[in-house]
Amino acid sequence: MQTPISHPSARWLISPKHSPHTHPRLRLFCFPSAGGGPAQYRPWMRTLPEIFELQLIQLPGREARLREPLMRRMPEIVTEIGQALLPMVDQPYAFFGHSMGALLAFEVARWLRRTGAQEPVHLFVSGRRAPNQHDPDRMIHALDDAEFLREIVARYNGIPQVILDDPELLQIFLPTLRADLEVIETYQYAHEAPLHCALTAFAGFSDQRASLHDLQNWRAQTTGAFRARQFAGEHFYLQNQRDVLLAELLSTLKNSTSADQWPI
């Protein structure tokens, strides 16, 4: 079940239902990877304590927004998400983004700062090299379906087998994934002053597109505390390392927020 959001941009946010007797003290906004949606993060609700209000970013072209036109440029998406989040950042909050979601979370944090809103208490970026790094990979979003699919599987190994085995599902999924790759491949980093929030960069040990060196390059994007950590696994390590990742996230957030926000 979902909790309705009381502002005009409700379609951008999905929130798993909380107990009416709880009073969340920190909002955790989760940004999806390319082709992904809120389903990536829904299982987190079973682990996160009730002091968290989990807010899942829902992009056009997937799940409840399946029939909406896809978006293909980072600035447009960032502006829409930023406007949706503005009424929601009036209390402590954190961002987590994986892969494309890491870029989105980073750029939305900068967009919010430009409006005068408070920064997140913590920015978690996952499975993505630093935004100011050169991307050595060739562009693939304009390839024909067969070659595009081969490249995606070779690079990320993250398309569920149930989709690969079903031609109809694949034809629904591919346009969304292709549009998201266009967002990534046309992204242009613009220099701004570093954020001030704490920043943690995660990746799998075997992720060839987010090495430890790549993670450490995120350090330049904040004047706050910084840490890089790798987990067992490849690009989508967070599927098999969910419990370990969430334990690390909770421990980090506890250190980033005041002690009175946490239950004794």
Cβ(123)–Cβ(195) below 8 Å: yes
Name the percent of the chain lying above pLDDT 90.
67
Q: How far is the CA of 231 from the CAs of 49, 104, 139, 202, 238, in angstroms?
A: 22, 22, 28, 8, 8
In a domain, 118, yes or no: yes
DSSP code for 195: B
User: CA-to-CA distance for 84 and 76, rounded, in angstroms?
Assistant: 13
Question: Which token pair is 105?
Answer: 């979370």
CA 54 to chain CA centroid, nearest Å: 13
Does residue 157 sit within a domain?
no
**How many angstroms separate the Cα of 85 from the Cα of each of 90, 95, 250?**
10, 11, 22
Residue 40 located in a structural domain: yes
Sign of the C-alpha dihedral computed for residues 144, 149, 152 and 155 taken in this order: negative
Residue 219 lies in a domain: yes
Tokens standing for 62?
Answer: 């997937």
Q: How would you class 59 by CB atoms within 10 Å of its CB: exposed for 0-12, middle for 13-18, buried for 19 or more?
A: buried
Of 17-31, 122-136, 145-159, the one with minimum mean pLDDT is 17-31
Residue 22 sits in a domain of what CATH number? Answer: 3.40.50.1820
User: Which position has the higher pLDDT, 231 or 50?
Assistant: 231
Indicate whether 1 pLDDT > 80.
no
9-36 pLDDT tens trace? 678 999 876 555 467 789 999 999 999 9
Answer yes or no: 99 catalytic: yes
Residue 141 located in a structural domain: no
Give the chain's radius of gyration (CA, Å).
18
Q: Is residue 156 part of a domain?
A: no
Structure-token match 């430009």, residue found: 114
Domain that holds residue 57: 10-134+190-261
* Number of domains making up the chain: 1
Across the beta sheet with 13-14, the strand order is: 13-14, 52-57, 26-31, 93-98, 122-126, 198-204, 226-231
| Residue 162 within a domain | no
**Residue of 15, 33, 99, 126 with catalytic role:** 99
The CA distance from 165 to 79, in Å, is: 36
| DSSP strand pairing (13-14 vs 52-57) | antiparallel
Average pLDDT of every residue of the chain: 89
Distance CA 31, CA 29 (A): 7
Q: How far apart are CA 45 and CA 36, in angstroms?
A: 17
DSSP letter at 81 equals H
Residue type, 123: L
Give start and end residues of each alpha helix (H) in the chain. 74-85, 100-114, 145-156, 161-164, 167-185, 212-216, 237-240, 242-256
Of the candidate ranges 42-46, 67-71, 82-86, 117-121, the one whose mean pLDDT is the lowest = 42-46
Average pLDDT over residues 256-261: 55
